[in-house]
Chains A and B, each alone.
Chain A
Amino acid sequence: MVSMKKMALPKDAVEMLLDPKAFKVLATTDDQGNVHVVAKDSLTLLDDGSLAYGEVLESSVSNANMVRGIWFDRRVAVLVCRHGRSFQIKGKPHRYVTTGPLFQQFYLAFRQRFGPDSDLAGVWIIAVDEVREQTLSVRKEEEERKHPNMRHFDRECFKVEQAM
């Protein structure tokens, strides 16, 4: 039996996840390890700290990979980006909702956004177990602190002031 672990997300990541204009992608893998990456505009944060998105296509590669994930305990990754900042969030598919209040909520939101011929197969819930800021300046600062030997010598930081 699997229980959903709760993990606190940084405040900025929370804001991005709740921003419908932020760019959000989902990465999954198939049984051969092939990676599949797609945009998921509907991805959002639920009150319990898990992620959720609406799956439009029941027969998609992403959906098959998510099913594989919940069946065989495989991880997925989400990237959320806004204004040059980004967070990578990893976790496991926890639940696929095809009926009931949460499904209805997503279904009606899709209908409102995409019109009367829009459809929704289900809502995936992802239990988060890892979050990492991917903003380049943050990652660069970390690398230079941990790996100062990796820098090129012609960079500004190595330049010696020339005697006048």
Chain B
Amino acid sequence: MVQSEVELTLSEVARKYPEVPRFILIKIDAAIRGVKVTDGAFQRARESNAVFEEEIYEHGKRFTRKRLAGAVFRDGTWVCGLESSRGMAILRYGQPYTIDVMDDKLMLVDGETPVEQCFFVPHPQFYGKKTRRGTPMHHLALAGPPDCLNIQVYMDCQFWRGKLPCKYCQLETYKGARHQGGRTEAELEDIYETVSEALQEPGRWTGIRLTAGSNPGGRVPYENEVNEYVKVLETLKRSFGGKAIPVRLVSSAYPEGQQNRLAEAGASCYEPHIEVWDEKVWEWVCPGKAKWFGRQYWIESALAAVGVFGRGNVCTQLVGGAEMAQPYGFKTVDEAVASSLEGAEFFARHGVTTSSTIMWVGQGSVFYKQKQKPAPLEYYVKLISGLRAIRKAHRLGVDFNDYRRCAIHPDTDLSRLDYPEVEV
């Protein structure tokens, strides 16, 4: 974004926008500044069963990897910004917050000033267990926010292979250590055992998210990708005894016929993300999507999906701030937000809800190499307020992608107030 624009602090934004809950402002500010965990707080996390530790052998060396399950504020809002504690390099604004223990309470702290109380989330009971053939279950499914079980269908992306990745995407960073290609029969059995074990934990899960990189190949667009999703969905069906289950797909845009295959295999919600609404900026930020098979194709896929999955069960997403990346992005916050809300309004008229995420300029992405500056707090306040207002006006739901089933969308956090008014 343009450097000369005035950027307001958390306190200034809170005074200017009293209608936006302070919890949500803190969440956004923590996401763009980052959060570190003190030794004392980390010890508290251990006592709260919120740290999962495993012995790792890598490059001939043995070390302990510590995975923090995450934290929530008093209202249940997910604490964003902890990604740095997992070794992920992200370009941030200013100084990070810390989580520390003060007066025996776990607090998010700005400098030396306590900002808000928070609570560590226990890691799932299936972590540390292995499948019958010895695969660690946490290699197959991960808890994201407290309620969501995340399963990677595969860890590969043709956009990256074609040197046309979405410019904010960090997938390449993790690819080496993870899975490439589709799941084998043995791996699908591992997933079946893992999900079946996870379901033994009472009151833990209300959502499953499947995701993968893009694979546009096949007899029709993205057929190869759909084939892999169907395999995993059929596996999940076994764990649920064939009953319908809330599984959402964060995936590429598919033709309607492929969407029908996924719905029949058990998918209930579908998210073909547009990422950026403005056509020219979109082509620059998402060159892979532009090549396979263009903006109009991605839009029409989302609209068609409403007929397959139902009104309010289809969500597109904006990577908030990507449309302000320079030199081709918008120069001002207001221009950027106006463009994004124009897109959200268009989708809402067709029964598609739009969420936004906070763009992390993370190591491995093109934007990281370009040293793009993250968008400021006030930009996100304007964007999420607009998205919530559009969703409310159209009485659209977003419950499958909200504060506890995805938790990285501050706009869907706001929609907690509007659930009683949703129409399906």
Contact = CB atoms under 8 A, between A and B. Distances in A.
A94 B74 contact: yes
Contact of A95 (B48, B74, B399, B418): B74
A2 B26 CA distance: 14
A72 B21 contact: yes
Contacts of B91: none
B255 interface: no
A106 B105 CA distance: 23
Contacts of B114: 1
Given A72-B21, A99-B121, A64 B419 contact: yes
Interface in B369-424: 399, 404, 416-420, 422
Interface in A47-73: 58-61, 63-64, 67-68, 70-72
B101 to A, nearest CB: 15
A88 interface: no
A2 B420 CA distance: 27
A100 B75 contact: no
Contacts of B399: 58-59
Given A67-B416, A70-B75, A1 B117 contact: yes
Given A100-B119, A108-B202, A64 B23 contact: no
Given A98-B146, A99-B204, A111-B202, A70 B416 contact: no
Nearest to B21: A71
A96 B72 CA distance: 10
B420 A64 contact: yes
B202 A107 contact: yes
A59 B419 contact: yes
Interface of A: 1-2, 31, 58-61, 63-64, 67-68, 70-72, 94-100, 103-104, 107-108, 111, 120, 122
29 contacts: A1-B107, A1-B117, A2-B74, A31-B417, A58-B399, A58-B419, A59-B399, A61-B420, A64-B417, A64-B419, A64-B420, A67-B75, A67-B416, A71-B75, A95-B74, A96-B74, A96-B76, A98-B146, A98-B404, A99-B121, A99-B122, A100-B122, A103-B203, A104-B202, A104-B203, A107-B203, A111-B202, A120-B203, A122-B76
Given A59-B419, A71-B75, A104-B203, 12 more contacts: A31-B417, A59-B422, A60-B419, A63-B419, A94-B74, A95-B75, A98-B72, A100-B121, A100-B122, A107-B202, A107-B203, A122-B76
